[in-house]
Chains A and B, each alone.
Chain A
């Protein structure tokens, strides 16, 4: 990222094609095989990478299209999580998952999917993982004495996987913690769990906190003020937040607290299908520049693009890139 002013990135997910949704549901009902679904995942991921590249995104992801949702992808891989696999009818539902004994240390197997991403792009890449706080809110704990202990254990297990990802070449890792916004009182231990998660991992970490994007709508409302000052203790390099839908008022928090990390600036609303013109994107970046220097800003959507139709998602990314170019030009002459 060094040297590129206002680099652009996705937050993680890309538009889920309708045909892939149907295939995922067909797989749940055992109408297609895992092999067939894997092939469809591969094809969808390649298409998502290509769309991001054509839109001009600097830091691309695999679109998270292999994931049923932000929880189950990890719950299925975490050692010691028991899952009733017959318990959901739609891929997007959450499994009923539970931990009843101490979780063993074991690999999660995320590296294989990262390597696939690396094979199909020359761009910088980002891997997103769901953070321990959000996992704790969806996986039932029947063993650990409390949520913090459970979260720290999850973080220890996932820390090993992050080290494997770095060995495989991952440089940018994003930790998604939308549930902070629903449980702001948890933030102190949530940050401690983050620090366990990133301990000794040589990557650039961004922490993404939004107000939820389940079914393409927010799960909570409020102000990011609750993050401060506790989040200042997180060993991260960037805080990635949504500003497009909610407005830029909370940008003042960066002035007030002068955090030691950069901001991932959400400039397109992922919950609306209207495509923001590049001029609107540019204006949102300029608003942030009143608070932070360009060197401390990267540009991204508010959240994942999962729930948007593909044409809308692509148009939003294209507008985001174009709006960023406008501002870059103003800054560099």
Chain B
């Protein structure tokens, strides 16, 4: 058995000796298969997100390509949720056969139920907010989005304006100046940016503003409507375009190589991911199975007059028609919130025969993953941020040769950081959040002709946000 202390607990929290004691207690009671021990790994993590998809203690098993169990087993302990005095109970529950309501089969994380749920949230965010009585940005750790920090916006505008001046000097400034914001949130940032750009342009008499074509891109029409209202004073230079952040080229192919500035905030952390695990030199894909623990399922059924057998179909209907599924929106939102609160993911580690079997997104080849892993810790669990990669490779072809991409998000910038703690997935209101594998994006960027850099967000002390920006790779 190997104990991985991915987080050093403070005094009084669960520690390794408690775990060993509890495990041996279970062994003595015959509730733990002794054959598990030689390959057993225990991971202690501090789950940053209070709301997430795990029980305080959970077990994951290794499985071969056909799903047959392997010797590898892991016990994952969230030292934030697990109480030392209840550790034995948590462990026993985790090791016992599951008794919850299963909502689907094992799939890679990127194909799991949580992503349609995430999409539903952004499509029906107003209903959720009405029910909770607060805006979605209030769920962020700081209670508001770093995207809207006025100093950050002002610096961003100044950088862009400098680029325009340089291009203008060389006679290379296009007649139309295209800028794109993908994932517009409340529209506050776009409004601030446009105010600042207009003011700077007028103060310096550069006449760039009338040539500006500012595009708001989002897949949610209600979100776009809200954002358009927030940029009301700039309607003459702003257009709203429905697009999928995973493939902006699909909607904007007519702007290939024309956009000088593309910005995203907190979009990549909300796009589908997979997770890979390397143990003893072998690579595993994390597969998940959505379920509701029995107490959560019973409470949901009691509140809505359902039986556990009704739940899979009812959840499927929620994802199909939204919170109007009962013909009573308030009841539908209540069901949605309660279901989301209870939703958990059971995990298993499916062995990959080789690196070429890893489910890699376009833009990332097995040899690049191999290079990335060559410099990574031997035992590691990390994200394949496939949505972020897909979005990146389908966004950069829009950039003008002198244009740049800027992404404000939570990034893991080296593979080593994955050894130091849990990086998602978590829940933020009704949405999914994951840290984004910046090391992976650096590799993908190089292949696409861009150097990818990360700068800490210096405008709010304690912020975990970084700013990714691209420069042309010569």
A binds B: yes
A-B pairs with CB below 8 Å: how many? 35
Q: Report yes or no: A22 in contact with B446, Cβ–Cβ below 8 A.
A: no
The number of chain B residues with a CB under 8 A from chain A is 19
Also in contact, A94 and B474, with CB within 8 A (given A18-B365, A22-B367)? yes
Q: Report yes or no: A215 in contact with B365, Cβ–Cβ below 8 A.
A: no
Q: Closest B residue to A137 by CB, please name it.
A: B474
Known: A211-B401, A217-B396, A217-B397. 5 other contacts (CB 8 A): A215-B449, A215-B473, A218-B401, A220-B172, A221-B174
Q: Report yes or no: A219 in contact with B257, Cβ–Cβ below 8 A.
A: no
Q: Is A222 an interface residue (CB 8 A)?
A: yes
Would you mind naming 30 contact pairs between A and B with Cβ atoms under 8 Å apart?
A18-B365, A22-B367, A90-B446, A211-B401, A212-B401, A214-B449, A214-B473, A214-B474, A215-B447, A215-B449, A215-B473, A217-B396, A217-B397, A217-B401, A217-B449, A218-B257, A218-B401, A219-B401, A219-B472, A220-B172, A220-B401, A220-B402, A221-B172, A221-B174, A221-B257, A221-B400, A221-B401, A222-B171, A222-B172, A272-B256
Q: Which of B367, B397, B446, B449 has the most CB of A within 10 A?
A: B449
A99 to B171, CA, bound (A): 32
Q: Is A141 an interface residue (CB 8 A)?
A: no
Q: Is A216 an interface residue (CB 8 A)?
A: yes
Also in contact, A216 and B449, with CB within 8 A (given A221-B172, A221-B257, A221-B401)? yes
List A contacts of B402 (CB < 8 A).
220
Q: Is B448 an interface residue (CB 8 A)?
A: yes
A220 to B400, CA, bound (A): 8
Q: Report yes or no: A217 in contact with B367, Cβ–Cβ below 8 A.
A: no
Q: Report yes or no: B474 in contact with A217, Cβ–Cβ below 8 A.
A: no
List B contacts of A215 (CB < 8 A).
447-449, 473
Q: Is A25 an interface residue (CB 8 A)?
A: yes
A222 to B256, CA, bound (A): 14
A196 to B382, CA, bound (A): 56
- Closest Cβ of chain A to B332, distance in Å, is 43
B residues engaging A (CB < 8 A)?
A: 171-172, 174, 256-257, 365, 367, 396-397, 400-402, 446-449, 472-474
Q: Closest A residue to B172 by CB, please name it.
A: A222
List A contacts of B449 (CB < 8 A).
214-217
List A contacts of B400 (CB < 8 A).
221
- Closest Cβ of chain B to A148, distance in Å, is 20
Say what secondary structure dominates the interface of chain A.
loop
A residues engaging B (CB < 8 A)?
A: 18, 22, 25, 90, 94, 211-212, 214-222, 272
List B contacts of A94 (CB < 8 A).
474
List A contacts of B473 (CB < 8 A).
214-215
Q: Report yes or no: A217 in contact with B257, Cβ–Cβ below 8 A.
A: yes
Q: Closest A residue to B171 by CB, please name it.
A: A222
List A contacts of B474 (CB < 8 A).
94, 214
A154 to B83, CA, bound (A): 74
List B contacts of A217 (CB < 8 A).
257, 396-397, 401, 449
Q: Closest B residue to A94 by CB, please name it.
A: B474
A90 to B171, CA, bound (A): 34
- Closest Cβ of chain A to B383, distance in Å, is 23
A113 to B446, CA, bound (A): 30
Q: Closest A residue to B403 by CB, please name it.
A: A221
A281 to B276, CA, bound (A): 46
- Closest Cβ of chain A to B171, distance in Å, is 8
Q: Closest A residue to B450 by CB, please name it.
A: A215
- Closest Cβ of chain A to B317, distance in Å, is 39
A18 to B364, CA, bound (A): 12
Q: Closest A residue to B448 by CB, please name it.
A: A215
A174 to B171, CA, bound (A): 29
A151 to B171, CA, bound (A): 25
Q: Closest B residue to A18 by CB, please name it.
A: B365
Q: Report yes or no: A25 in contact with B367, Cβ–Cβ below 8 A.
A: yes
Q: Which of B172, B174, B401, B448 has the most CB of A within 10 A?
A: B401
- Closest Cβ of chain A to B76, distance in Å, is 36
- Closest Cβ of chain B to A245, distance in Å, is 8
Closest 10 CB pairs of A and B: A215-B449, A218-B401, A219-B401, A220-B401, A217-B449, A218-B257, A221-B401, A22-B367, A222-B172, A214-B449
- Closest Cβ of chain A to B178, distance in Å, is 12
- Closest Cβ of chain B to A140, distance in Å, is 13
A219 to B171, CA, bound (A): 15
List B contacts of A90 (CB < 8 A).
446
Q: Closest A residue to B253 by CB, please name it.
A: A272
- Closest Cβ of chain B to A267, distance in Å, is 18
A212 to B171, CA, bound (A): 18
A272 to B256, CA, bound (A): 10
List A contacts of B401 (CB < 8 A).
211-212, 217-221
A209 to B256, CA, bound (A): 21
List A contacts of B256 (CB < 8 A).
272
A214 to B474, CA, bound (A): 8
